[in-house]
């Protein structure tokens, strides 16, 4: 007997099916009764069936052996397990794709879509594999397709598919099978079986069957004693005229396919309509959604639309609602269902918030296996095989903690050594073949503290050697191996020998002892999956390829998921929209209802597009057909959403966030907007934070979760939460006190006491100008850097700092070699200069830190570009050597305590009349001297790898004191530099070391007559000196004789010209008279003493400077410590304005209490 029960989506047909099945079993326990449901709800259906049987028999515990609740896949195993047939080895998808790759490669010359190897991608092969499964499922004979009805694209696809399909089936033969084989074997069994006549079958919660499932249903309905199927339609009736686009087209099409079969087979069947119930709010909402009913006010209260500030707010709304309903309205956790179109978007919000509120839940979102440490280990083994010993892969392998050497007694000690080893290898740029060298070979670079600890380095080297040895041996053993069985044995033994299996077992036991049964299952499942993948590989592989072997393992793991079992029955169920659910829920939440998520339209085609499939089905000359799964899914969106709306008996919540994690605006789904219009329900706004007293209860759950919100509200003037805070303190006293105290936290560093500052820095500060500039940039950073001596982890990379060091050392060596060899720079030929530069570079690149960097081919290229830049600058100096009387005299000249050149010293008395001192030390990149007319003249050159000028605004605020300090050092040490004579200083200048280019399309490169500027001349301008120039015409003429000519323009100093009247035009804000220079020097001394005084008095401020778009936070290493937020009223930038020379000089006079005009 065949029975078809139809009802609306709100009708609990599953309950009716279970009732009928259980009664059938209860009346005759000698015959088999099967309830067939989607795999997703098999467990809950089984629980409900047993519960009904328990009520029927009036027993608390029941046991059955003839009542079966199964999915289609489990039904196949049930029938075939006792059959006298040899069940084939089922190939994993990854192994099947690997087999396809072999076939495509073998037949590449015959194929049209895979003409070159770049087209043989894993994605293309997976699409072809799914197409092969569709052809098998649809009983398609590719030979019988009418090619005249196909366009060229479809013909090419069929051509290739036929070649690959035939060979694929041939290679499968009787050895192994694809994942759909069990369903095919089930249908073969059902077609031959004569034992179904005493069996009853009940099908529930299907709206669509796959082609093979449909075949199974047809065969069962033809042979079984009783077959009952339940379907939900738009109005609870069968519509034989349903068309694509109709609300319930997909389910009506399924019913029509079955009816057509029964009629052809002349089988009797009867249709029964489930009794209508229109009074419940759920039924009323279904009527409105399906446009079969009218508006009723009950619906406005039954549906609650929620507009949330963010996904966090959405998730908190769910948790808060569930918590309050359970606490106040006698609900149970199992009464709630949470659905999302894309559950992964809420993974980091929903589950932590539910845990915080102590709400038990079962998340049936499949937990992917690819993030397990064993899979991570396999991925990094593959990367090490492909790329060599790259540091990120070796360290990642170590951090899986699967390969812990025997001498470690604890994983914590091992992890500590891994961290130290990571610090060491990053600091020394160890990668590739450098991993094979002892660590002691690198300590001469002396870049981190570990370099000085011989014992620690030796212990870390032991760990390095262990991993290098086991990996090198492993890859060597597999390098030339061609036999798959031998190779897999080597891989297996590698894991066993290195105690990976024991480590997994230890994790299983640890999780089991902690009561985390879900986590305890993972080691066993991932190990079992590895076993299956290895078996699949041996079935498919003809010849061993390590690359292909790793690809199969990684691909297989990427498709694998951990199986999950609810730890308790009374739990909130979390699932994805579109998955079949039971109808025993009282309240349902549909979250994430944005326009991009709902409806869930699939757009990415498979091997065959929808257009291809239409042509093929027109051209198929047999009864088979190919199903367009994407089209079916897209046609079923309204119906599937209607199913979700029908799951709750008491309340439906639908919500969406207004922004995503990137702060991008999100729009509500068209479904959300339709419901808002149709139900006239009032939209609720869920904010991230409560804003007034009306919001308080919408954030209250348990004490732990509510405390933060109460603390946030306690300082609001119009909200009184003192009583709630008192209640919270009674529950979690210490925590409440800490959080309340924390809410008063201001992101402002505290000053040190003068005594503590003195202990930290002493009475005498020995520092450099750049360090004091840091104090003015942000005094908190100075404290962290030079008080606490915090440093970020050093990494030996060819970054801007290393490039700058290389520039400095190149020019330092050049100046010293010229002096050492007693050469005149102006007399050098370009060839001799080139020889000197080559000699210098060879010496530099033997230095530890540079030698290690040169192991990287890309760094070699970068060094080549750096060398080109230094050559450009050196040739520029050389070309100007005869234009100036200056000659480089000192390079990298240090000044300060115990140096040939005295540093600068400043002292003052503090409030207690104690003497305090700042001793300034440093190093000048280059000092040029000239002896002209019995005078000694000097200038300081500072190398910069980017354009730089002396900025008056920054100097006024203590952020650019370096060049003025250098001038003061020259003036203080004039006897040293002038051998007893007075030293006349021309200035301090920046030498831009650059080879940067301007775009030809840049406005700067186009003249007013639309001609392009002279590129060589423009690039030379960038190398001219820029900085502080003393406006002394006599001195300038002595240094650059060419400036004596009328209308001359300096070829050395930027923006210096001789006017038509013979006067010199000086740079407006970078030139100073000798008297003005004295003011600058006096102000510089004031700034240094002021900084020293504040440092020793313990003053600390979080006051980063801001100058236009530039701030001191941009390149700071301490941003994660500052937590600086300009939105906080206590966090403010120290804003600097650009000023001109006149303003600066007036400011200096004001600060120094000086009178008179400039």
CB atoms within 10 A of CB 67: 22
CB atoms within 10 A of CB 181: 19
Q: Degrees (nearest 5) of the Cα angle 741, 746, 749?
A: 115
Closest CA to 586 of 266, 811, 282: 282
Tell me which of 491-495, 799-803, 1105-1109 is least confident: 799-803
Quickly state the pLDDT bin for 1000 (edges 50, 70, 90): very low
> β-strands 1071-1072, 1064-1065: how paired?
unpaired
8 A C-beta contact, residue 954 and residue 843: no
SS (H, E, C) 654-706: EEEECECCCCCECCECHHHHHHHHHHCCCCEEECCCCCCHHHHHHHCCCHHHH
Q: Please state the rounded mean pLDDT for residues 489-503.
A: 93
Q: What is the pLDDT of residues 1009-1053, one digit of tens each?
A: 656 555 455 556 778 889 999 999 989 999 988 888 888 899 899
For residues 337 and 716, the answer to whether their CB atoms sit within 8 Å is no
Q: What is the CA radius of gyration of the chain?
A: 40
Report strand pairing: 200-203 vs 176-177: unpaired
- Asked if 373 and 402 count as a contact pair (C-beta separation under 8 A), the reply is yes
Span 309-334, average pLDDT: 93
Share of residues in the chain with pLDDT > 70 (%): 95
702 burial type by CB count under 10 A (0-12 exposed, 13-18 middle, 19+ buried):
middle
Long-range contacts of 815-823 (CB under 8 A, 24+ apart): 815/888, 815/890, 815/891, 815/926, 816/891, 818/888, 819/889
Q: What's the CA gap between 1082 and 608, in Å, rounded?
A: 81
Q: Are the beta carbons of 230 and 620 closer than 8 angstroms? A: no
Q: What tokens does 892 get?
A: 């990298």
Per residue in 166-177, pLDDT tens? 888 887 775 677
Confidence of residue 1002 (pLDDT cuts 50, 70, 90): low
User: Which residue in 882, 855, 714 sits closest to 798, CA to CA?
Assistant: 855
Distances 8 to 234, 579, 671 between C-alpha atoms, Å: 6, 18, 20
Share of the chain above pLDDT 90, in %: 35
Which residue do the tokens 């914590």 mark? 412
598: left (phi over 0), alpha (psi -120 to 50) or beta: beta
Residue 1157: its pLDDT value, please? 47
CA angle 184, 187, 191 (to 5 degrees): 145
Q: How does residue 1158 score in pLDDT terms, banded at 50, 70 and 90?
A: very low
**Which residues, other chains included, contact 1085 with Cβ-Cβ below 8 Å and sequence gap of 6+?**
906, 968
Tell me which residue has tokens 């405390």: 707
Residues 917 and 1093: their CA atoms lie apart, in Å, by 9
> To 10 degrees, what angle do helices 152-172 and 122-137 make?
80
Q: How far apart are CA 526 and CA 517, in angstroms?
A: 15
Structure tokens belonging to residue 220: 């069962």
**Token pair 């034992």 in the structure block, residue:** 195
The whole-angstrom separation of Cα 506 and Cα 493 is 19
217 versus 447: the higher-pLDDT residue is 217
Question: Any idea which of 502-506, 713-717, 865-869, 973-977 has the lowest mean pLDDT?
Answer: 713-717
The backbone torsions φ and ψ at residue 983, rounded to the nearest 5 degrees and listed phi first, read -105, 125
pLDDT at 1140: 92
Cα of first residue to Cα of last residue in the chain, in angstroms, is 113
Q: Averaged over 1119-1142, what is the pLDDT?
A: 88
pLDDT band at 460 (very low <50, low <70, confident <90, very high): very high
Rounded to whole angstroms, the Cα distance separating 231 from 680 reads 30
Give the best-scoring range by mean pLDDT among 204-213, 315-324, 998-1007, 1045-1054: 315-324
Q: Diameter of the chain by CA atoms?
A: 127
**Nearest CA among 987, 969, 1066 for reference residue 1027:** 987
- Report long-range pairs for 996-1003 (Cβ below 8 Å, ≥24 apart): 996/1022
Q: State how far the Cα of 553 lies from the Cα of 379, in Å rounded to an integer.
A: 9
Nearest CA to 847 out of 810, 792, 794, 890 is that of 810
Q: How many residues comprise the chain? A: 1158
DSSP, residue by residue, 407-454: T-S-HHHHHHHHHHHHHHHHHTT--GGGGGS-GGGGGGG--SGGGG-H
73 SS3 class:
helix
Q: 769-777 and 962-972 are packed helices; what angle lies between their axes, rounded to 10 degrees?
A: 150
What span, in angstroms and rounded, lies between the C-alpha atoms of 296 and 289? Answer: 12
Spatial distance between the Cα atoms of 845 and 843, rounded to a whole number of angstroms? 6
Q: For the chain, what is the total number of helices (H) and then of strands (E)? A: 43, 30
User: Could you count the other beta carbons within 10 Å of the beta carbon of residue 1007?
Assistant: 9
pLDDT digits (tens, 9 = 90+) for 523-547: 998 999 898 888 888 877 788 888 8
Task: Tell me the CA distances in angstroms from 958 to 202, 722, 1087, 1137, one per residue in order.
Answer: 85, 48, 6, 13
Question: Which of these ranges, 532-541, 573-582, 844-853, 992-1001, has the smallest mean pLDDT?
Answer: 992-1001
Q: Please, what is the angle between helix 42-57 and helix 13-27, to 10°?
A: 50
Q: Coil, helix or strand for 589?
A: strand
pTM of this prediction? 0.76
Rounded Cα distance, 778 and 1105, in Å: 7
The whole-chain average pLDDT of the chain stands at 86
SS (H, E, C) 630-666: HHHHHHCHHHHHHHHHCCEEEEEEEEEECECCCCCEC
Q: What are phi and psi of 768, to 5 degrees?
A: -115, 165
Q: Which residues 6+ apart lie within 8 Å of 697 measured at CB?
A: none
Hey, what are 157's tokens? 């696809």
pLDDT in tens, 866-912: 888 888 888 888 888 888 999 989 989 999 988 989 999 999 888 88
* CA 450/CA 884 separation, integer angstroms: 48
pLDDT at 827 over 70: yes
Whole-angstrom distance, CA of residue 1136 vs CA of residue 778: 13
Question: In terms of DSSP H, where are the helices of 973-1014?
Answer: 974-977
The CA distance from 785 to 769, in Å, is: 14
| Vertex 30: Cα angle to 24 and 34 (nearest 5) | 50
DSSP structure string for 113-157: S-SSGGG--HHHHHHHHHHHHHHHHTT--GGGB-GGGS-HHHHHH
* C-alpha–C-alpha distance, residues 106 and 98, integer Å: 12
| Tens of pLDDT, residues 81-131 | 776 566 667 777 777 777 788 888 888 888 887 777 667 777 788 888 888
């Amino acid at each position: 007997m065949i029975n078809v029960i139809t009802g609306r989506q709100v009708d609990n047909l599953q309950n009716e099916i279970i009732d009928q099945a259980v009664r059938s079993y209860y009346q005759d326990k000698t015959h088999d009764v099967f309830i067939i449901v989607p795999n997703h709800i098999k467990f809950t259906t089984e629980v409900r069936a047993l519960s009904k049987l328990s009520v029927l028999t009036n027993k608390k515990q029941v046991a059955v052996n003839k009542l079966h609740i199964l999915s289609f896949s489990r039904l196949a195993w049930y029938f075939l397990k006792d059959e006298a047939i040899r069940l084939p080895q089922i190939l994993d998808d990854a192994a099947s794709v690997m087999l396809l790759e072999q076939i495509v490669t073998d037949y590449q010359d015959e194929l049209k879509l895979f003409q070159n190897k770049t087209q043989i991608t894993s994605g293309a092969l997976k699409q072809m594999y799914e197409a092969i499964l569709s052809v098998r499922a649809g009983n398609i004979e590719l030979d019988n397709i009418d090619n005249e009805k196909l366009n060229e694209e479809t013909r090419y696809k069929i051509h290739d598919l036929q070649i690959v399909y035939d060979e694929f089936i041939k290679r499968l033969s009787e050895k192994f099978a694809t994942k759909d084989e069990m369903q095919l074997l089930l249908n073969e069994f059902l077609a031959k079986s004569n034992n179904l006549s005493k069996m009853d079958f009940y099908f529930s919660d299907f709206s669509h069957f796959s082609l093979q499932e449909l075949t199974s249903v047809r065969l069962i309905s033809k042979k079984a004693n009783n077959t009952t199927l339940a379907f939900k339609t738009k109005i609870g009736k069968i519509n034989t005229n349903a068309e694509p686009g109709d609300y319930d087209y997909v389910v009506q099409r399924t019913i029509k396919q079955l009816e057509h079969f029964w009629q052809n087979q002349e089988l009797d069947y009867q249709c029964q309509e489930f009794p209508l119930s229109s009074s419940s709010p759920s039924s009323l909402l279904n009527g409105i959604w399906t446009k079969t009913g009218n508006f009723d006010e009950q619906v406005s209260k039954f549906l609650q639309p929620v507009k949330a500030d963010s996904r966090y707010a959405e998730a908190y709304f769910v948790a808060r609602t569930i918590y309050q309903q359970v606490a106040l309205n006698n609900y149970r956790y199992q009464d709630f269902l949470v659905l999302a179109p894309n559950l992964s978007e809420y993974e980091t919000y929903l589950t932590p918030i539910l845990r915080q509120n102590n709400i038990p839940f079962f998340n049936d979102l499949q937990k992917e296996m690819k993030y397990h440490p064993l899979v991570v280990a396999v991925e990094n083994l593959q990367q090490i095989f492909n790329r060599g010993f790259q540091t990120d892969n070796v360290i990642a392998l170590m951090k899986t903690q699967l390969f812990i050497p025997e001498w470690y007694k604890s994983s914590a000690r091992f992890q500590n050594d891994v961290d130290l080893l990571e610090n060491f290898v990053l600091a020394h740029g160890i990668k590739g073949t450098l991993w094979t060298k002892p660590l002691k070979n690198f300590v001469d670079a002396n870049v981190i503290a570990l370099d000085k600890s011989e014992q620690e380095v030796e212990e870390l080297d032991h760990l390095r050697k262990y991993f290098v040895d086991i990996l090198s041996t492993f890859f060597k053993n597999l390098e030339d191996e061609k036999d798959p069985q031998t190779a897999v044995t080597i891989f297996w033994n590698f894991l066993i020998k290195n105690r990976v299996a024991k480590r997994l077992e230890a994790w299983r036991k640890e999780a089991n002892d902690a009561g985390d049964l879900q986590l305890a299952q993972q080691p066993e499942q991932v190990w079992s999956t590895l076993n299956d993948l290895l078996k699949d590989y041996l079935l498919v592989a003809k010849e061993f390829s390590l690359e292909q072997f790793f690809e199969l393992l990684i691909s297989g793991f990427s498709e694998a998921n951990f199986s999950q079992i609810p730890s308790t029955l009374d739990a909130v169920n979390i699932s994805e929209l579109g998955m079949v659910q039971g109808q025993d829920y009282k309240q349902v939440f549909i979250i994430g209802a944005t326009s991009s998520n709902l409806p869930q339209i699939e757009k990415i085609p498979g091997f065959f597009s929808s257009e291809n499939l239409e042509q093929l089905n027109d051209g198929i000359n047999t009864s088979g057909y190919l199903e367009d799964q994407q089209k079916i899914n897209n046609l079923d969106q309204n119906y599937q959403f209607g199913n979700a709306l029908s799951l709750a008996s008491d309340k439906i919540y639908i919500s969406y966030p207004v922004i995503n994690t990137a702060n991008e605006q999100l729009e509500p789904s068209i479904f959300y907007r339709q419901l808002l219009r149709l139900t006239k329900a009032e939209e609720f706004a869920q904010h991230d934070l409560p804003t007034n007293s009306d919001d308080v209860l919408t954030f209250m759950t348990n004490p732990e979760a509510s405390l933060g919100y109460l603390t946030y509200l306690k300082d609001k003037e119009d909200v009184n939460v003192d009583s709630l805070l008192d209640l919270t303190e009674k529950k979690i006293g210490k925590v409440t006190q800490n959080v309340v105290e924390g809410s008063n936290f201001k992101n402002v560093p505290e000053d040190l006491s003068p005594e503590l500052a003195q202990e930290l820095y002493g009475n005498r500060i020995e520092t450099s100008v750049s360090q004091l500039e840091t104090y003015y940039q942000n005094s908190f950073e100075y404290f962290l850097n030079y008080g606490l001596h915090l440093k970020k982890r050093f990494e030996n990379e060819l970054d801007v700092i290393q490039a700058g060091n290389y520039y400095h050392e190149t020019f330092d060596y050049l100046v010293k070699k010229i002096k050492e060899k007693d050469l005149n720079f102006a007399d050098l030929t370009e060839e001799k200069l080139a020889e000197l530069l080559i000699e210098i570079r060879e010496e530099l690149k033997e230095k530890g830190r540079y030698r290690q960097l040169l192991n990287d081919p890309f760094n070699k290229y970068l060094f080549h570009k750096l060398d080109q830049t230094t050559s450009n600058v050196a040739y520029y100096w050389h070309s100007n050597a005869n234009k100036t009387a200056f000659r480089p005299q000192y390079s990298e000249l240090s000044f300060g305590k115990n140096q040939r050149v005295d540093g600068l010293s400043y002292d003052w008395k503090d409030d207690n009349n104690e003497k305090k001192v700042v001793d300034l030390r440093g190093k000048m990149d280059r000092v040029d001297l000239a002896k002209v007319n019995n005078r000694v003249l000097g200038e300081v050159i500072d190398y910069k790898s980017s354009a730089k000028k002396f900025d008056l605004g920054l100097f006024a605020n203590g952020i650019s004191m370096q060049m003025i300090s250098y001038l003061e050092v020259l003036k203080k040490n004039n006897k040293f530099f002038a051998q007893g004579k007075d030293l006349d200083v021309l200035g301090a200048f920046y030498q831009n070391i650059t080879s940067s280019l301007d775009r030809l399309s840049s406005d700067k490169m186009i003249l007013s007559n639309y001609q392009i500027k002279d590129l060589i001349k423009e690039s030379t301008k960038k190398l001219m000196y820029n900085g502080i120039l003393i406006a002394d015409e006599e001195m300038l003429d002595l240094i650059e004789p060419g400036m004596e000519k009328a209308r001359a323009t300096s070829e050395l100093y930027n923006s210096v010209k001789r006017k038509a009247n013979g006067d010199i035009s000086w740079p407006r804000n970078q030139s100073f008279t000798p008297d003005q220079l004295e003011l600058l020097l006096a102000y510089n001394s004031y700034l240094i003493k002021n900084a020293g005084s504040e440092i020793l008095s313990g003053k600390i401020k979080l006051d980063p400077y801001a100058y236009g778009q530039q701030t001191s936070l941009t390149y700071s290493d301490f941003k994660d410590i500052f937590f600086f937020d300009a939105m906080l009223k206590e966090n403010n930038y120290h804003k600097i304005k650009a000023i001109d020379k006149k303003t600066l000089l007036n400011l200096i006079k004001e600060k120094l209490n000086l009178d008179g005009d400039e």
